[in-house]
Structure 1
């Protein structure tokens, strides 16, 4: 059996990476049948990328930031919200009116730390919990409260979560190194999904439709023998 790693480069405050993750999950549900699972297994590995590394840890209101930097009029902002609502297709209820946008280094630090010490399933739940908290519930993307709650939702012991979250040096050098590695690999935007294949790797940049992820996964399955 061939074991394929799906390398997912993302930022927890990038809506397009949330869409890509959601669509990739749906594609995996379609492709990973009992028959294909005898040929290949897919494991997600998360790689950190910061779209805005100079953001403060406190941040600023999300809605205000989008208006100030991207959509300066009420009409433009409302159009953007409608576009993202459409992209979410009723499955991701994007919330751009509440919450703060802020530096994501601590969020990535926590994800990378537990990715090294827990199962892929736990890491996946942690990432999804952080996405949901930020994009749907209007929570701060990297406050201690948000991070600990996401860890608990992923099944991580609360005391362990508190220890890692509150010790800001825990895993810091490792996550900074991982971020630099992505930059050295030429990553300058997210999401980037690279699926390792026996014969060749498949790389998809940007949030693709479910069908495109299905096609890429099926190619890896086909070439796994």
Structure 2
């Protein structure tokens, strides 16, 4: 259950609305891997997407690239499509640890840095270098961050168990977002327009009155 870049923009917009003072939303990130079989070393992102998602069709891949760039332009995100796609387990391990230790705001800054590095700067999603930059961007002291990141076993079992729990809950796609309310929860699965996320946030406020 993680926020994608468009739902983050929706939440930023909500916080500037008249409803923002009525309900306080706290973000909690839970780990989930779409491709747990991906190698740690990884492979070229563009080639991987073209072969596994678009039947090795250059035309379809170009269409996807054009669509994502258009989405990104609307929220000031400059998507790039090379770099490395790889196993993200270490990134989840770091996010979960520092979310627990330092709270949701730090976890949010970690996520934003990881998104920017991967989607805009074509960085590997979970090398020590990537993770150290993300923790620095989140304001975590370097010595503390480095000690945890370089001990690849610390927190690993808990993260794997949390991923297994999400799979047991029937989650098989991302983003998967649950907005908890007083009367009911609203679940949004798969990519949505910003307006759909905003509508759900305001609906929770309405029902919580």
CA spacing shift, 1:203–1:163, aligned 2, 3 Å: same
Residue matched to 1:95: 80
Residue matched to 1:175: 159
With normalisation by structure 2, the TM-score equals 0.93
Give the secondary-structure state (helix, strand or coil) at the position aligned to 2:135. helix
Residue matched to 2:129: 145
1:33 Cα deviation after fit? 4.7
Q: Identify unmatched segments of 5+ residues in structure 1.
A: 1-8, 11-19
CA spacing shift, 1:183–1:63, aligned 2, 3 Å: same
Relative contact order, higher structure (CA 8 A, sep 6+)? 1
With normalisation by structure 1, the TM-score equals 0.87
Measured on the aligned residues, the alpha-carbon RMSD in Å equals 1.6
1:66 Cα deviation after fit? 1.7
User: How far, CA to CA, are the matches of 1:211 and 1:137 in structure 2?
Assistant: 27
- 1:76 and 2:60 correspond: yes
User: How far, CA to CA, are the matches of 1:168 and 1:87 in structure 2?
Assistant: 35
The number of aligned residues is: 207
More strand by share: 1
- 2:47 is matched with which residue: 45, 61, 64? 64
Residue matched to 2:97: 113
1:84 Cα deviation after fit? 1.2
1:89 Cα deviation after fit? 2.5
